[in-house]
Amino acid sequence: MIHDLAVVGGGVHGATVALFAARGGMNVTLLERGALCREASGVNAGTLTMQMTRVALIPYALRAHAMWASARDWLGHEVGVVVCDGLSLAFTEREEELLTYRAGKRREAGAPIELITGAQASAVEPGVSDKVRLAGYCRVDGFANAYLTGLAYRRALLGEGVALREYTPVAGVEREAGGFALQTPTGLVRARRIVLAGGVWLEPMLAWLGVHLPIKTLVNQLAVSERVAPVMRTVVGIANGLLSLKQYPHGTVVIGGGWQGLGDRERGGVELLPDRLIGNVRLACHAIPALRSARLARAWAGLEAETKDALPAVGPVPGVDGAYVCGSVHSGYTSGPYIARLLADQLLGREPELPLFPIDRLLSPGDAPRGHV
Amino acid sequence: MTHDLIVLGAGPAGANAALAAAQAGLKVALLDEQDGAGGQVWRQPLPGLTGLPVSAEARSGDALRAEISASSVDLRLSRRIWSVGGRFRVDALGPQGNETVEAPSLIAATGAHERVVPFPGWTLPGVIGLAAATVLIKSQGVTPGRKVVVAGCGPLLVAVAAGILKLGGDVAGIVDLAGRRDWLAALPSLATQPELLGRGLGWAVKIGAGRVPVYFGHAVKAAQGEHALERIVIAPVGRDGAYASGPDITLETDALCIGHGLVPGAEVTKLLRAEHRFDRLRGGFVPVLDAYGRTTVERLLACGDGAGLRGAIIAEQAGRLAGLAAAHDAGVVPADRFAQIADPILAAISRARPFSDAMAGIMALRPAQVAAIAPETVVCRCEDVTRGEIDAAHEAGAHDLNQLKHFTRCGMGPCQGRMCGDVAAELLASKVGSREQAGYWTGRPPLRPVPFDALMGAFDYSDIPIPEPAPL
């Protein structure tokens, strides 16, 4: 049989495209080399904040936040989303300047961030340090329980009749009359159109089509405490974006912020650097002093994809009719569902509500394949 | 680099590895979490505690501790090792806070932890592990309760029962998963180590003299009590570990010491991404090793029960071998000298093997015992995950252990999956086909939970090496 659409890559981006394309009436298959949402989409810090989102993505992130907040309605399953206030803290004069500038830019882009004093920040978040000089305060914030993402999407996709192929690595794609043939260990899977949604693996995936799109791999370290009594009620970050901190309803506190560990897309996140882990933890405990008495239970690393301009790669693949790419979205967990839904709209022949991020801008002459299909 | 070699764990394996390498001329750091060398098997009494019965194990431990003191080994005790990385860097919390040692070679000799196959009531106060009981007995001379039942399988059963009797305690019964037939079948192999067999028989005589009832071929079906343990119900089992027909027996007790063998603590080799394979006899997933203890990661070696259960005798020898191999690989022991020393050790290991295999066989996990766990029984006690929830997660699509963790939080608690991991993997393996399919928890730091406070130490905000801002 020939599917209307084959999505390669089962993270939030691929799974969302597959879900909405299927809802729009397409016959969809989703291929994932492992299980759904076990890479970035399942191991990220789950932060749904505007204060770490790139300015150009704010309009998308705001709409995506609304989607996460109503995940039960469109996804049908619980991902542990908590909507709460968010604070971005400044502890030094330099950070005050940085925060003032960055919050201003994000506000211009539509994020409802206001600047408040340290005393006001303590009123919003009683757990916060008394050393705060200035804080960005945003009521559109929150977090999800990222490790539940795969379970929720799995149920939703199966419920929508998507032919889910987990543990099915794709080795390559052949263009053929009327579409594409994807090589898998169990034979060829055929589809009229394809979406490549491989996160940091977008670079090798696009190479199947003769397109060279360099994707940088970030190795973000994360840490989580044991369950502890409540120490905070908001999402807390710092001015330069290198901290994300929140306490889950079951009591664990997740510490993130994108401190880099060691790894690459071939081996994954293979090693955490203890000095950076300690630095990240110090920053967290400086922000929320009561956290000091907790214990570190586990730390890990997740991969994040970044293009040359750190903006998404979402749109048609130049020179290959019927092939699309979706991924490399900065803070992609936050914005992913909305941006991927926009691509599904385009596939369904609807005008996307906001513009996509075509990759032509990222390709050097000669990077696109020669000769159109 | 601060040292030529780092050895993690100062039990029979690690201590002998460190001594062998130091003797060959390496500058060795030997780290252990406890405040004395000797590991679990040769654990020393707490400082200042006198008058404890002297055992053969205590004597072995004292001899080892004296040997380390007389050597050039840089022994660092009370170190909670939490991070191992690089090639190689070890971070440990000690009395002075976080400290770092570095060396081009590393030997993991981290020992084993105990396995308890869950049953209703196993989380009641008063129920403890068999190995935990040995800690109480050896280090503090304390019996686990007033009227103790010792249950499970393996040599620890008689060791714990005899230890309690020696301290003047009361043992209400020994409940042994293995039947008389199993022990008889093992006897020829056990007889290859007359000294150890003699020690075991000595324990058995003590137990006989104490008129302790022994229930061969029985398992604990339930532990019961209002707020703490008051009684247990035992029932006969077949050789495969599944309940067999026969009457239940109720025993009044305030302390149940129970263990179903040991699981290799291979966290360090997993963290460093060495290749592992499943070996039921050796207790679970163990690092793939050559004859000398080299893993698939260059200059990383492993020995002792943490690399696969083989007991203390082989651990000592395997430790010597690994220490020697590390020294050889570092270029300080020429090949002919290496072979000259290693060959007799390899021969000693071969001789000890039948005994070790027989013991490991009696302690190995019995799949039918795991299959018999009731749906409402808690498997992951940190996160309260029941067998039924594990089965449901498999139904919902969880096909390996790490995915099960995502779906249920099984293994995410403070024990870091040590207590539940082997049983959860066995449950999943029964659905997905094999332990290899089910896999094992990905190695993650910290190797033990560590307090943030101790980890961070004193610092100023300006000391934090905050990276450059993310792009706007």
What domain range includes position B223?
A: 116-260
pLDDT value, residue B11: 97
Q: Looking at B140-283, which runs of residues are DSSP E strands?
A: 147-153, 170-176, 214-216, 218-224, 231-236, 249-252, 255-260, 262-264, 276-279
Looking at the structure of chain B, the number of domains it has is 3
Which residue of chain A has the CA closest to B453?
A: A292
**Residues B218-275: tens digit of each pLDDT:** 999 999 999 999 999 999 999 898 999 999 999 999 999 999 999 999 999 999 999 9
Q: Looking at B154-209, which runs of residues are DSSP E strands?
A: 170-176
Residues of A in contact with B470 (CB under 8 A): 52, 240-242, 258
pLDDT value, residue A372: 46
Residues contacting A45, CB < 8 A, separation 6+: A143, A146, A222, A244, A246, A254, A255, A256, A257
Asked whether residue B459 is domain-assigned, the answer is: no
The share of chain B scoring above pLDDT 90, in percent, equals 85
| Residue A153 near chain B (CB below 8 Å) | no
Do B248 and B276 share a domain, yes or no?
A: no
pLDDT value, residue A373: 41
Asked whether residue B465 is domain-assigned, the answer is: no
Q: 3-class DSSP state for residue A194?
A: strand
pLDDT value, residue A367: 73
Q: Do the chains contact at B449 and A297, CB–CB below 8 Å?
A: yes
Helix H, strand E, coil C: the string for A7-69 is EECCCHHHHHHHHHHHHCCCCEEEECCCCCCCCHHHHCCCECCCCCCCHHHHHHHHHHHHHHH
- What average pLDDT does range B44-55 have in this prediction? 81
- What average pLDDT does range B370-397 have in this prediction? 97
Q: Find the Cα–Cα–Cα–Cα dihedral B362, B366, B368, B370, rounded to 10°.
A: 130
Residues of A in contact with B397 (CB under 8 A): 35-36, 150-151, 154, 166
Residues of B in contact with A272 (CB under 8 A): 83, 85, 445
- Report the residue from B86, B414, B470 with minimal CB separation from A226: B414
Residues of A in contact with B463 (CB under 8 A): 282
In a mutational test of the B interface, the residue from A32, A58, A99, A295 whose CB has the highest number of chain B CBs within 10 Å is: A295
Q: 3-class DSSP state for residue B229?
A: coil
Model-wide pTM > 0.90? yes
Name the token pair of B69: 């003191």
- Report the residue from A166, A226, A240 with minimal CB separation from B466: A240
Do B128 and B212 share a domain, yes or no?
A: yes
Name the token pair of A168: 């099915």
Do B248 and B314 share a domain, yes or no?
A: no
In a mutational test of the B interface, the residue from A96, A271, A283, A300 whose CB has the highest number of chain B CBs within 10 Å is: A271
Residues contacting B295, CB < 8 A, separation 6+: B269, B272, B274, B275, B287, B288, B289, B301, B302
Q: How far apart are CA B306 and CA B286, in angstroms?
A: 8
Q: Do the chains contact at B461 and A92, CB–CB below 8 Å?
A: yes
CA distance A232 to chain B (A): 16
Asked whether residue B353 is domain-assigned, the answer is: yes
Amino acid identity of residue B166, one-letter, is K
Beta-bridge mates of residue B151: B175, B258
Residues contacting B245, CB < 8 A, separation 6+: B236
Give the count of alpha carbons within 13 A of B466, CB side only: 24
Do B193 and B204 share a domain, yes or no?
A: yes
- Report the residue from B85, B405, B456 with minimal CB separation from A271: B85
**Residues B281-312: tens digit of each pLDDT:** 999 999 999 999 999 999 999 999 999 999 99
pLDDT value, residue B417: 97
Q: Given this structure, which CATH class describes domain A2-41+148-213+309-362?
A: alpha beta
- Count of helices and strands (H, E) across chain A: 10, 18
Q: ipTM score here?
A: 0.94
Asked whether residue B454 is domain-assigned, the answer is: no
**Residues B80-123: tens digit of each pLDDT:** 999 999 999 999 999 999 999 999 999 999 999 999 999 999 99
Q: Which phi and psi (to 5°) does residue B30 adopt?
A: -120, 115
Q: Do the chains contact at B445 and A274, CB–CB below 8 Å?
A: yes
Which residue of chain B has the CA closest to A271?
A: B85
Average pLDDT, chain B: 95
CA distance A171 to chain B (A): 22
**Residues B308-324: tens digit of each pLDDT:** 999 999 999 999 999 99
Do B120 and B248 share a domain, yes or no?
A: yes
Residue B47 pLDDT > 90: no
CA distance B409 to chain A (A): 9
Q: How far apart are CA A218 and CA A305, in angstroms?
A: 6
Which residue of chain B has the CA closest to A55?
A: B472
Do B120 and B218 share a domain, yes or no?
A: yes
Asked whether residue B457 is domain-assigned, the answer is: no
Residues of A in contact with B471 (CB under 8 A): 54, 310, 330
Q: Do the chains contact at B396 and A52, CB–CB below 8 Å?
A: no
Q: Do the chains contact at B461 and A273, CB–CB below 8 Å?
A: no
Cα-to-chain-centroid distance, residue B220 = 22
Q: Do the chains contact at A274 and B465, CB–CB below 8 Å?
A: no
Residues of A in contact with B468 (CB under 8 A): 240
Do B247 and B122 share a domain, yes or no?
A: yes
- Report the residue from A274, A282, A299 with minimal CB separation from B459: A282
Do B241 and B131 share a domain, yes or no?
A: yes
Task: Show me where the domains of chain A are located.
Answer: 2-41+148-213+309-362, 84-142+216-306
pLDDT value, residue A370: 57
Asked whether residue B455 is domain-assigned, the answer is: no
Q: Please tell me the CATH superfamily of domain A84-142+216-306, with its number.
A: D-Amino Acid Oxidase, subunit A, domain 2 (3.30.9.10)
Do B161 and B254 share a domain, yes or no?
A: yes
| Contact (CB, 8 A) for B112 and B263 | yes
| Residue A167 near chain B (CB below 8 Å) | yes
pLDDT value, residue B45: 85
Asked whether residue B451 is domain-assigned, the answer is: no
Residues of B in contact with A131 (CB under 8 A): 461
pLDDT averaged per 10 residues in sequence order, chain A, 373 residues: 97 98 98 96 96 97 98 94 98 96 98 98 98 98 96 97 97 96 97 98 97 96 97 96 96 97 94 96 98 97 95 97 96 95 98 97 79 45
Do B25 and B136 share a domain, yes or no?
A: no
Asked whether residue B334 is domain-assigned, the answer is: yes
- Report the residue from A151, A239, A300 with minimal CB separation from B407: A151
- Report the residue from A102, A131, A298 with minimal CB separation from B472: A102
